[in-house]
Structure 1
Amino acid sequence: MPSDEVLLRRAVAADARPAADVWLRSYAAALPTVQCAHDDVDVRDWFARVLVPQYKTWVAVTGDAVVGLLVLNGQELKQLYLDPPWRGWGLGDRFMALAKQRQPDGLSLWTFQVNGPARRFYQRHGFVEVERTDGQRNDEREPDVRYVWRPRT
């Protein structure tokens, strides 16, 4: 599995459903204490109508399986999710390198405060915490944290 060749490429319409399924599996595994604000049908619809056609969405593909996704909207890193068996194999690092290449002037993102592994990952990649909220501005009503990455001058 993780030893297979993995291609990062821009998502196409046919990737929306498998990318949404990766998102759902990853969310459930990474955030077991956070109630998802949307059901599976709504998440899949959001991928098909919004994320894939309207944002810069990349998928990680091995064989015919989508195993990860990255979504950028300008300088905002909107989504970075890996299928749980693919964590720890460098795929997140590859996506982060791609994001920084696409947005060399900087990136920002939000993650939940309870997501320690994601926070450590972003910090390892040079992101700095700039804001915390009580979660009242996100759909899940879960306290979150905003990170920013700026290239070294």
Structure 2
Amino acid sequence: MAGVALRDAVAGDAAALARIYLAARQAALPGLVERFDPTQVAGWLAGHLMAHHAVRVAEADAVPVGYIGHGTDDRHGPMVFHLYLDPAWHRRGIGTLLLAEALAAHAGSLSLFCIARNAGARSFYETHGFRIIGGSDGADTEEAEPDLLYAVAPTPKHGETQ
């Protein structure tokens, strides 16, 4: 994609990624009450997500405009933990580019959780082959909102079985 580069995240990205995270959630989920302020989110991103998982940043003119965090979850296997874009950068193929890297890193198999009322994210993931395999009423989630568990697996080649 012209003008957008992908790179590994560094701890110094945490504040910018926290701003993207919070802005994306507010744009997609009006009325969502955030439990953590930008400093707390940045601390979690640097101290947990970046410390334990792969995080790739999409940037334009050396400014982060989106990111994906993925790795392996003990319960669900290969998983996307975060995929967020600055709302001003939606529908430019950046999410697809980030997701493609994560899929390639995990041989085409990934799962993820999505807040059920996030219609835009649901459409994005379903367009990329993810299907709902579970969900919850949200009682045990940070947001206290119903969520959906999505998964995608590689399509077997002709003559192969899964």
- Fold match by TM threshold 0.5: yes
Q: Percent identity?
A: 34
Q: For 1:113 and 1:62, how far apart are their aligned partners in 2?
A: 30
Is contact 1:34-1:142 (8 Å) kept?
A: no
Larger Rg: 2
Tell me, which stretches of 5 or more residues in structure 1 are unaligned?
none
Letter in 1 for 2:112: L
Pair 1:104-2:102 in alignment: no
**Corresponding residue of 1:82:** 85
Q: For 1:88 and 1:105, how far apart are their aligned partners in 2?
A: 22
**Corresponding residue of 2:41:** 43
**Corresponding residue of 2:69:** 71
Letter in 2 for 1:126: G
Using the TM superposition, name which of 7-16 and 120-129 deviates more. 7-16
The Cα of 1:148 is off from its aligned counterpart by: 0.5
Report the RMSD for the aligned CA atoms in angstroms.
1.4
Q: List structure 1 runs of 4+ shifted beyond 4 angstroms.
A: none
Q: For 1:4 and 1:125, how far apart are their aligned partners in 2?
A: 21
Pair 1:95-2:98 in alignment: yes
* TM-score under structure 2 length normalisation: 0.88
Is contact 1:4-1:62 (8 Å) kept?
A: no
Is contact 2:15-2:39 (8 Å) kept?
A: no
**Corresponding residue of 2:18:** 20
Tell me, which stretches of 5 or more residues in structure 2 are unaligned?
73-77, 157-162
* TM-score under structure 1 length normalisation: 0.93
